[in-house]
Chain A
Amino acid sequence: MTPPNTLMDKLALKLREDADKIEVRISDELDHRIEASLRAAAPAKPARPAPRARPPWFWLASALTGATAAIAVLAIVNLSGVDEPAVPAPTIVAADPMPLLDLDTEAVTLTAPLQQELEDLQSDLKKAEEKVRREIGL
């Protein structure tokens, strides 16, 4: 019996020989076709490189930079010696004050049922309204 190693070498040799027995030839027509296709095809441009991954401490460095910048801005604004002119406080001038109405008001004590109280209050309100109208001359 043939030892396995020898058989394996024999197999490899046979495969090699049989591969060499497969005869192929690039025909002139195929050669021309390939060359024409190559001349028609332009090399593709490399894609833009992907952005590099940021290190895990990047957010910390970024936050510290931001905070430092904010502190610096605040310091510059507060320590600068420029005194802004004081803006006078706006004064409110009342124009043609409305005459104050003398309204007689009194606390109402709810004693009757609610519907009755409501009607009394509406009646009082109507009277007060008429009185106001009379006073302002309408």
Chain B
Amino acid sequence: MAVELQLIDAAKAGSVEAFTELVSAYRERLLRFLVTRCASLADAEDALQDTLIAAYRYLHSYDPRWRFSTWLYRIAIRNAGKLHAPELVDVNEARDLRDEENDPLAHCIAASESENLWVAARRVLSDDVFAAMWLRYAEDMSVNDISKTLDRSVSWTKVNLMRGRRSLESQLNDAAEHAYG
């Protein structure tokens, strides 16, 4: 944490090297998350680039009371949202654009006997609930941090995590029943 704060101070002073080192642990994690939200791998990469540049430019506004990862994810979600902002493309249209062939998530998942649960999650959950589930189970984020990242109340986060879990539970059960007849 102390090292992270030192790197933040150096990056604030304009050191690109310090910033690169600071975000090195988060870049792939962010890209993995963005792949689940964007229509193509190119969009996900663009969103990652925009996220890192925005984080570098506005590092002075980072509040050390937050976890750095929470702050980064918040920017990433905003940037991914811009790619299918209502004035550009309708959200449903954006989902349609993510066809099987171009779906970056499908491209990034190794062949497996069972369906990746995140693919099912994206099919049955809304964008925000999906993001909450991802931050909780893929990133081990606390409920408080998730609510800050998504700019939602803690109670909204708790309720929707519970709903998301129920939906995915039934998906998991259906998959198990299907597998074992």
CB–CB A15/B57 < 8 A: no
Q: Tell which of B61, B117, B165 touches A18, judged by Cβ atoms closer than 8 Å.
A: B117
B116 touches A22 (CB 8 A): yes
Main secondary structure of the interface of A (DSSP, over half): helix
* B19: A residues at CB distance < 8 A: 38
Is the C-beta of A19 less than 8 angstroms from some C-beta in chain B?
yes
In Å, the complex CA distance between A41 and B53 comes to 7
Kindly list chain B residues whose C-beta atoms are within 8 Å of the C-beta of A41: 53, 56-57
**Which residues 40-54 of A have a CB within 8 angstroms of B?**
41-46
Indicate if the CB atoms of B52 and A34 lie closer than 8 Å: yes
- Residues of A near any B CB (own CB < 8 A): 7-8, 10-12, 14-16, 18-19, 21-26, 30, 33-35, 37-39, 41-46
> Can you list 19 contacts pairing A with B, beta carbon distance less than 8 Å?
A7-B172, A10-B172, A11-B169, A15-B118, A15-B138, A15-B168, A18-B117, A19-B137, A21-B110, A21-B112, A22-B36, A24-B35, A26-B28, A30-B49, A33-B49, A34-B53, A38-B19, A43-B59, A43-B60
Q: Report how many A-B pairs have Cβ atoms within 8 Å.
A: 92
CB contact under 8 A between A22 and B27, given known A11-B172, A38-B53:
no
Residues of A within 8 A of B121 (CB): 15
Contacts of A39 in B (CB 8 A): 16
Q: Which residues of B contact A24 (CB under 8 A)?
A: 28, 31-32, 35, 108
